[in-house]
Amino acid sequence: MKVLVINSGSSSLKYQLYDMTDESVLAKGLVERIGMDSSILNHKPTGKEEVTEVSEILEHNTAIRKVLDMLTDPEHGVLESVGEIQAVGHRVVHGGEAFKGSVLVTGEVKSEIRRLFDLAPLHNPPAIMGITAAERNMPGVPQVVAFDTAFHQTMDEKVYLYPIPKVLYKKHHVRRYGAHGTSHEYVSKAAAEYLDRPIEDLKIITCHIGNGASLTAVKGGKSVDTSMGLTPLEGLMMGTRSGDLDPAIVTFVMNKEELSLSEVNSMLNKHSGLLAISGSSSDMRDITDGWEAGEPNETLAFEMYEYRLRKYIGSYAAAMNGVDVIVFTAGVGENSAIVREKVCQNLTYLGVELDKELNKIRSGDPRRISTPNSKVEVLVIPTNEELVIARDTHRIVQEEK
């Protein structure tokens, strides 16, 4: 079965075409600047040359049409006809409490995703645009949605509720939902497979640290706590997001600086984190360069980032009464040996012992970076959210047959 995976943003659309007989990627690509005058389609067919096309793409419907044209193009394509695509899988950020796993798209499912616009105003509307566009361009082809929040629906009430008036949960669904669920699920399962141990027996802390960052405590294969909350702002210090702070800061700063709701929102989501403390960049590569050069602002940003990450790991070890495996993944987790080293340096009380040489090796494969004596296995596992979506789509469509 050939499965097309689509990840729609407000002005972008990422895609990957899988052949599920061997889970190989036939092509992948990205449409950027949708709705602007010069949109860019970058297409990477496996085994063929990469191609970039600039044209006017005003909405997601045209974006999908262009992608399908590219996938069937005689020169750059990988398909004879669009009819070869037997299912489409979509990434949806917020599934609220309604979705505990991936599901087949129906009218009711789309209505529910729309009802959740309030909780994910930036992310769920483009997902609906992507689904509608795919339905229009591939009529009759089954569509599946996978939710970033679904994996965390196993969290207990004592974990997901905030200690605020309960009426806010009842009326407005204010609770913790988490994010990056497909990534945390994928790397926790991959960790158990790599170690050849049953996931049911393992306490795993998965550190998805990229531009956005979250940690999950995975006990027996289930998410029991995660660091993002009602929105992706809670938790770790990130590239441009603050992560945890005293909530009173919001009203205090709004009052002092006469900020509006959207201004304070933008301050915490787009102008905080590494960017705010370094004053120069949200990218961990730049922060590390500055830290190595002895720049005081980058050094402070690096130290705060590492400290907050380490505190979270400690709290999740406490939440699970121990930890067997720590997994690093995503942009920083997979690539920054120095972040991993500094974090692990101060986890010796848990019995973590890092092999500094193994930690420095660069590879796209899952790997162990702890010593044989380490009480906790420390692994680097490249995440693959698209593959999780493709697998779910394949499974659900097969079950429906």
Give the integer Cα–Cα distance in Å for 211 and 165. Answer: 32
Pick 172 or 285: Cβ nearer ligand AMP: 285
Question: What single DSSP character describes residue 354?
Answer: B
Q: Judged by CB under 6 A, which of 112, 135, 283, 353 binds ligand AMP?
A: 283
Part in contact with ligand AMP (CB under 6 A); list of ranges 115-123, 281-289, 296-304, 311-319:
281-289
Part in contact with ligand AMP (CB under 6 A); list of ranges 6-14, 19-27, 283-291, 293-301:
283-291
Taking residue 396's Cβ as centre, other Cβ atoms within 10 Å add up to 19
Q: Is 283 known to sit in a ligand binding site?
A: yes
User: What residues pair up with 52 in beta bridges, in sequence order?
Assistant: 42
Q: Judged by CB under 6 A, which of 124, 336, 374, 384 binds ligand AMP?
A: 336
Pick 9 or 77: Cβ nearer ligand AMP: 9
Does the protein bind ligand AMP through residue 216 (CB under 6 A)?
no
Question: What single DSSP character describes residue 348?
Answer: G
Kindly write down the DSSP assignment for every residue of 238-266, as one continuous string. Answer: -SS---S--THHHHHHHHHHT--HHHHHH
Question: What single DSSP character describes residue 332?
Answer: H
Does the protein bind ligand AMP through residue 9 (CB under 6 A)?
no
Does the protein bind ligand AMP through residue 232 (CB under 6 A)?
no
Part in contact with ligand AMP (CB under 6 A); list of ranges 115-123, 221-229, 279-287, 291-299:
279-287
Pick 199 or 330: Cβ nearer ligand AMP: 330
Does the protein bind ligand AMP through residue 375 (CB under 6 A)?
no
Does the protein bind ligand AMP through residue 12 (CB under 6 A)?
no
Does the protein bind ligand AMP through residue 332 (CB under 6 A)?
yes
Catalytic residue among 69, 148, 246, 289: 148
> Exposed (0-12), middle (13-18) or buried (19+): which is 237, by Cβ within 10 Å?
buried
Q: Is the CB of residue 31 less than 8 Å from the CB of residue 12?
A: yes
Q: Is the CB of residue 179 less than 8 Å from the CB of residue 140?
A: no
Phi, psi of 335 (to 5 degrees): -110, -20
148 given a catalytic annotation: yes
- Smallest CA-to-CA distance from 239 within 207, 266, 269 is with 269
Phi, psi of 352 (to 5 degrees): -75, 130
Minimum CB separation of residue 36 from ligand AMP in Å reads 22
Does the protein bind ligand AMP through residue 32 (CB under 6 A)?
no
**Number of residues engaging ligand AMP in binding (CB under 6 A):** 12
Give the integer Cα–Cα distance in Å for 83 and 91. Answer: 22
Q: Judged by CB under 6 A, which of 48, 115, 166, 285 binds ligand AMP?
A: 285
Question: What single DSSP character describes residue 16?
Answer: E
| CA-based end-to-end distance of the chain | 13
Site string (286-325) toward ligand AMP, x via CB under 6 A:
--x-------------------------------------
Q: Which residues are catalytic?
A: 148
Residues forming contacts to ligand AMP in the complex (CB under 6 A) are: 210-211, 239, 283-285, 288, 330-332, 335-336
